[in-house]
């Protein structure tokens, strides 16, 4: 029954997490200047809400678990989930609903199959000869780009598919560009996985490290898992600092009031740099913890020395995860917004797997010749600091690769949004992001 409940939680999160950010972003009209500006702020406050919600689990629930009151903790979680469902349903009459535009996986496969069927057909010299249709109500067409030209073959009008009815033989330029968008996003997405490895340490090795430190402060026992509250407070503080101070400052320095501060790619790069600093801080704290610990006794170093590493992780989240949510939502085509949000969640999931794999590899290598290894059961006999420094080095290397991918990346460009009014098609906005 316990394992069934775990899989039910995973199933529920699979339907909720990839869609909630997209659904929230759909409530803002990019054609309206004021709503478009509010949409930019939405992702920051959305991530803040996620962290404020987890503050309850990192304080109250951790206290219940630390006291062995597991049933009470589970019931508290059940009640909070029920209240969230009620609040969500209350707003149903006011929600904006965007009609689905087909299965993104089938649209992707159609382009690949259509291009493969016409791999011998030469590309036309004029891109206007490629197949395209008028934009439907509320949708935006994607402008043609020169990358991945082989996929353009899917939009070639050959004699055998002149009827233009079979999408497995003939696709539109917009559909081809959707696939190109996904392919351009993948290198950026891959670079975010290693950041998620760093983020994962907060719920695993940071807790183990804290448990091996002095947890008694003024007669009170501080659960090691509750230290993640400093991460949440850091997220809240840095969201305010970025939105209210840093973003306007960067915009002012650029002397272009119409241009926002840092771009999403720049913010994600800053997040990687801060993640490197977080791992260096964690490694330094662990180094001094080992010096203050006996082989089989606890360390005299206070657990509050972990505050800097938790704070830096929280700051990096504001730049990386908020920027990542906004980036994938803005750069994903209109019919693939949920796919963009799913990429963010997949990055976190793969980060957990890669972290486990990395720990296994490090332990296999470091336990050679009957050595205790870097991360043994008793951390006082290991070298967790070396693992943190290894993560810092890997993240720094990942940052270099990320810079190359960001420089190569080409932002998506849309044509005007089309809205039908009294039989006429009216262009609402043009967008190149």
Check: CB of residue 322 under 8 Å from CB of residue 239: yes
pLDDT of residue 135: 60
Give the pLDDT band (50/70/90) at residue 160.
low
Read off the pLDDT of residues 191-228 as tens digits, 9 standing for 90 and up.
999 999 999 999 899 999 999 999 888 888 888 888 99
pLDDT category at 424 given cuts 50, 70, 90 is very low
Q: Where are the domains of the chain?
A: 11-91, 104-172, 179-408
Name which of 131, 174, 187 is nearest 156 in CA terms.
131
In tens, the pLDDT along 317-346 reads 999 999 998 898 888 877 777 777 788 888
Three-state SS for the chain is: CHHHHHHHHHHHHHHHHHHHHHHHHCCCCCCCHHHHHHHHHHHHHHHHHHHHHHHHHHHHHHHHHHCCCHHHHHHHHHHHHHHHHHHHHHCHHHCCCCCCCCCHHHHHHHHHHHHHHCCCCCCCCCHHHCCCCCCCCCCEEECCCCCCHHHHHHHCCCHHHCCCCCCCCCCCHHHHHHHHHHHHHHHHHHHHHHHHHHHHHHHCHHHHHHHCCECEECCEECCHHHHHHHHHHHHHHHHHHHHHHHHHHHHHHHCCCCCCCCCHHHHHHHHHHHHHHHHHHHHHHHHHHHHCECCCCCECCEHHHHHHHHHHHHHHHHHHHHHHHHHHHHHCCHHHHHHHHHHHHHHHHHHHHHHHHHHHHHHHHHCHHHCCCCCCCCHHHCCHHHHHHHHHHHHHHHHHHHHHHHHHCCCCEEEEEEEEECCEEEECCCEEC
The reported pLDDT for the residue numbered 63 is 77
Among 8-22, 41-55, 106-120, the least confident range:
8-22
Could you tell me the pLDDT band of residue 64, with boundaries at 50, 70 and 90?
A: confident
pTM: predicted TM-score of the whole model, two decimal places: 0.84
Residue 432 confidence class, pLDDT cut points 50, 70, 90: very low
Nearest to 213 by CA among 147, 303, 132: 303
pLDDT digits (tens, 9 = 90+) for 174-198: 889 889 988 999 999 999 999 999 9
In CATH, what number does 179-408 get?
1.20.1250.20
Distance between CA atoms of residues 352 and 189, nearest Å:
15
């Amino acid at each position: 029954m316990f394992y069934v409940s775990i899989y039910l939680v995973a199933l529920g999160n699979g339907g909720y997490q990839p869609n909630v950010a997209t659904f929230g972003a759909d409530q803002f009209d990019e054609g309206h200047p004021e709503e478009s500006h509010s949409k930019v702020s939405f992702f920051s406050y959305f991530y803040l809400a996620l962290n404020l919600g987890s503050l309850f689990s990192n304080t109250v629930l951790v206290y219940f678990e630390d006291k062995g009151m597991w049933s009470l903790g589970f019931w508290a979680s059940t009640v909070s989930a029920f209240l969230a469902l009620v609040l969500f349903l209350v707003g149903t009459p006011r929600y904006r609903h965007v009609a689905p535009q087909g299965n993104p996986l089938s649209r992707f496969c159609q382009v690949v199959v259509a291009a493969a069927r016409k791999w011998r057909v030469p590309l036309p010299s004029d891109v206007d000869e490629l197949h395209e249709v008028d934009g439907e109500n509320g949708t935006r067409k994607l402008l043609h780009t020169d990358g991945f030209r082989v996929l353009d073959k899917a939009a070639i009008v050959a004699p055998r598919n002149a009827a233009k009815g079979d999408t497995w033989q003939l696709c539109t330029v917009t559909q081809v560009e959707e696939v190109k968008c996904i392919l351009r996003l993948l290198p950026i997405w891959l670079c975010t996985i290693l950041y998620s490895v760093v983020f994962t340490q907060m719920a695993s090795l940071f807790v183990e490290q804290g448990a091996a430190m002095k947890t008694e402060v003024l007669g009170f026992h501080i659960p090691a898992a509750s230290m993640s509250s400093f991460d949440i407070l850091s997220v809240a503080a840095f969201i305010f600092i970025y939105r209210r101070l840093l973003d306007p400052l960067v915009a002012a320095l650029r002397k272009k009031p119409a241009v926002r501060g840092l771009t999403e790619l720049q913010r994600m790069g800053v997040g990687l740099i801060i993640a490197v600093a977080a791992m260096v801080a964690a490694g330094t704290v662990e180094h001094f913890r080992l010096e203050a610990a006996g082989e089989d006794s606890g360390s005299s170093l206070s657990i509050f020395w972990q505050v800097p590493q938790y704070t830096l992780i929280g700051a990096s989240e504001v730049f990386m995860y908020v920027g990542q949510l906004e980036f994938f939502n803005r750069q994903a085509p209109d019919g693939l917004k949920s796919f963009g949000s799913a990429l963010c969640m997949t990055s976190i999931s793969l980060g957990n797997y890669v972290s486990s794999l990395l720990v296994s590899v490090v332990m296999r290598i470091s336990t050679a010749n009957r050595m205790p290894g870097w991360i043994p059961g008793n951390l006082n006999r290991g070298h967790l600091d070396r693992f943190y420094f290894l993560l810092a080095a890997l993240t720094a290397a990942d940052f270099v690769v990320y810079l190359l991918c960001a420089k190569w990346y080409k932002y998506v460009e849309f044509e005007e949004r089309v809205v039908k009014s009294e039989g006429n098609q009216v262009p609402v906005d043009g967008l190149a992001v």
